[in-house]
Amino acid sequence: MDKYYFALLGEAGASGLAKAFYLRFKKESLKEAYEQEVSHWNYFRKFRRSHLELPVYYSLFLFGIFVSLFGFSFTKRVIKRVERGAINFYEKNFDLTDKRISEILAQEREHMKI
C-alpha cells in the first residue's frame, strides 16, 4: 500500500476523532482542528480514494466519543499521541519541501497544543 492510501485513511480517522471531541467538549480549538483535519482528508482524496474512508471515519468517531467520556485531560493525551504519530508518518514518508505537506505538518503540530 502506498503512502497516499495510509494518509487518506489516517486523515479520515483523524477527522472522525476531531468531530467527536468537538461535539463532546464544544471548544473552538477543537472545531478548528476538525475543520483542518477534513481539509487534510480532502487533500489526500485527490490522490487516492477508498471504500474504507467512511467506515474508518465513523469507527474513530465512536472511539472518540468513548475516549471523551474519560475527561478532557485524557482526551488531550490521546490527541497528542495521535498527532505525534501523524507527524512522524509525514516526516518519514513525504517530501517536506512540498508546500501543502509543510502546511499540514504545521497544523498537526498546532493540534498538539490543544
Please give the tally of structural domains in the chain.
1
Residue 14 has what pLDDT?
98
- Mean of pLDDT over the chain: 96
Reading phi first (left if > 0) and then psi (alpha if -120 to 50, else beta), residue 26 is in: left
Residue 4 has what pLDDT?
96
> Which residues of the chain fall short of a pLDDT of 50?
none
Of 34, 43, 13, the C-alpha closest to 114 is: 34
Structural domain harbouring 94: 3-111
Residue 1 has what pLDDT?
66
Of 54, 53, 79, the C-alpha closest to 64 is: 79
